[in-house]
Amino acid sequence: MDVFSISKLNNLIKRVLEREYVLKNCYVAGTIANLKRHSTGHYYFSLKDDDASVDVALWAGTAQKKGLVGQLENGLFVTMRATINFYEKTGRLSLICNDMEIGQKSPYQLAFEALKKELTALGYFDEAHKQPLPLMPATIGLVTSESGAVLHDILHVARQRNPFVQFKLFAVPVQGDKAGPLIAKGIERADADKEVELVIVGRGGGSMEDLWCFNDRVVVEAVYNCKTPIVSAVGHETDYTLCDFAADVRGATPSHAAELTVSPVSYLLEQLESKETYLHQYMKQTIETKKQELQAIFNRKLGIPALTLIHQESSKLNDLEHRLTGAVQQAVGKKQNNLLLMGQQLELLNPLHLLLKGYTKIEHQGTPIHSVTALTVGDSVNITMNDGSLTAKVEEIIKNG
């Protein structure tokens, strides 16, 4: 028994294919899917029928020469002349398109365009109906398959950006004729969950037929009626479904949807610091403005009237001060006059005043003598005169009458 290595097996396949003349210039008919145009101008797509598909490459030079630039789109039924190409290193079989005749659009594409036109007229895709996404959702609902790569991709991206975000899975089939109503139910369950603040609905890439359940009218209606902000993440970047048009935001891929809905912790911290700085500045400016307004109100309502009142009362106080000063001066003058008169009167009553007129003052043992009866012969008396005093002795007492 011969055992082939991978390289020998692929080499054998390649030689067998190269010997087959019919495969070098064959005609193939099918529907275009997964169309991509490279920056170099080359086209890459799948050609499909109901049961199988094959990868196709259309080089930029051929597309330009055959007038196919800008003419290709998903869903077109085409007939092309092609050469079989087998890439030995990876064992990948593909067709190299040499010429193409574009025919009618596939039934799927025609149905897609008809339903899109109808729903557009009904307002299902209006921008005015779309909601903004929450900046920091704590819990995100995922409406997708529990076994597909979508779930892994979203959770992986979310953990790297913000591990604190929680996810709830609402598992649904994402392919097949019966998948549409079940996806719609999953969206309704996620929308009814009070913990869910944002919903992501989607699946990985595939052909138009694989993604067709996301064009189901019941799915589009469920997305449109969803009260919770919802992101559609169906297929690859080039895949568009009606679900994408009805959602609030379209994610080019499931990973891109995770990036749109889960903000990095570092970004949230920057936003928090920015808001804090703004609030400080706003509060400072508001306080300063209110101080100025209060000062203006004070000047208008209290300040100027108060200053006017103070000025008036100050004038009254000055007038009272002048009047009081005058009254005091007048009273003092009057009292001074009274004192002067009293001084004059006291001066007249002063015994010394009598002495100046030649009168004397006689005292015996410190007691003034008013009558000769107060003395006896031999008593010593003190006689005070104007210019001094002397001591005398009574030798004789002569009474009047």
Those residues with Cβ within 8 angstroms of residue 256's Cβ, 6 or more apart along the chain or in another chain: 233, 237
| CB-based contact 161:261 (threshold 8 Å) | no
Q: Which regions in the chain score pLDDT beneath 50?
A: none
Residue 51: its pLDDT value, please?
Answer: 77
92-105 and 53-58 beta bridge pairing: parallel
Helix pair 149-161, 254-261: axis angle to 10 deg = 30
Assigned CATH topology for domain 109-126+136-263: Rossmann fold (3.40.50)
198-203 and 139-144 beta bridge pairing: parallel
The two structure tokens encoding residue 21: 């003349």
Write down the pTM of the prediction.
0.53
- List the Cα angle 242/248/250 in 5-degree steps: 60
How far is the C-alpha of 252 from the C-alpha of 68, rounded, in Å?
A: 26
How far is the C-alpha of 157 from the C-alpha of 285, rounded, in Å?
A: 41
Closest listed residue to residue 248, CA positions, set 235, 233, 231, 260: 231
The two structure tokens encoding residue 136: 């920091």
249-250 and 230-234 beta bridge pairing: parallel
CB burial class (10 A; 0-12, 13-18, 19+) of residue 364? middle
How far is the C-alpha of 79 from the C-alpha of 275, rounded, in Å?
A: 60
Provide the residue ranges of all domains of the chain, joining segments of one domain with +.
Answer: 6-104, 109-126+136-263, 266-302, 354-394
Q: Is the dihedral of CA 104, 107, 113, 118 positive or negative?
A: positive
Residue 351: its pLDDT value, please?
Answer: 65
In words, the CATH class of domain 6-104 is mainly beta
Q: With the CA atoms of 72, 75, 78 and 81 taken in that order, what torsion angle do they form, in degrees rounded to the nearest 10?
A: 70
Same fold, 6-104 and 109-126+136-263: no
How far is the C-alpha of 326 from the C-alpha of 319, rounded, in Å?
A: 11
